[in-house]
Amino acid sequence: VNNSKSAITLQFDGKEIFWEIGENLIQKLESENIVKQIFPLHDEKTRKKLLKTWAFHWWDFTDQPIDEIYSYYGAKIAIYFAFLGMYTRWLLFLAAFGLTLQLTDFRSMKLVVLPVFFVVVILWAVMFCQFWKRKNSALLAR
């Protein structure tokens, strides 16, 4: 709202707009077809709550408050972070198995161990995809 003692002249794209005393700027810009839509960027209270429960808990990077993310950012972002959390959690098991195999000295048994590792990776990938489908369906059904 123009609370000044006189009208204000605004210039946009070579066009002069007169903002009268007591007139709402947003409504004026919408009536001049300069602004199409307006929406708030952040709800400060919810953002701070998410910051405390999610961003500051970086040591537990596999657990996200999916419901709060969904209500604040929407379904696409919530599904994205749910996927990342599950993928990271599942990768920890595969990484531990691979590191164990790498650090263990098998010498002459490498020709047997490597195919076993390959089969485990393939089974891991298939199982991960199936469990993700199940979790994704459960998240979308909420």
Euclidean distance between CA atoms 90 and 56, whole angstroms:
22
Residue 3: partners with Cβ closer than 8 Å, 6 or more residues away: 22
Q: How confident is the model at residue 138 (pLDDT cuts 50, 70, 90)?
A: very high
pLDDT grade for 112, boundaries at 50, 70 and 90: confident
pLDDT at 3: 83
Percent over 90 (pLDDT), the chain:
32
* Per-residue pLDDT reduced to its tens digit, 81-108: 999 999 999 999 999 999 998 888 777 7
pLDDT at 103: 87
Tokens matching residue 32 = 């001049």
* Whole-prediction pTM: 0.68
Q: Which H/E stretch holds residue 44?
A: helix 44-50
Q: What is the pLDDT of residues 27-47, one digit of tens each?
A: 888 888 888 888 777 888 988
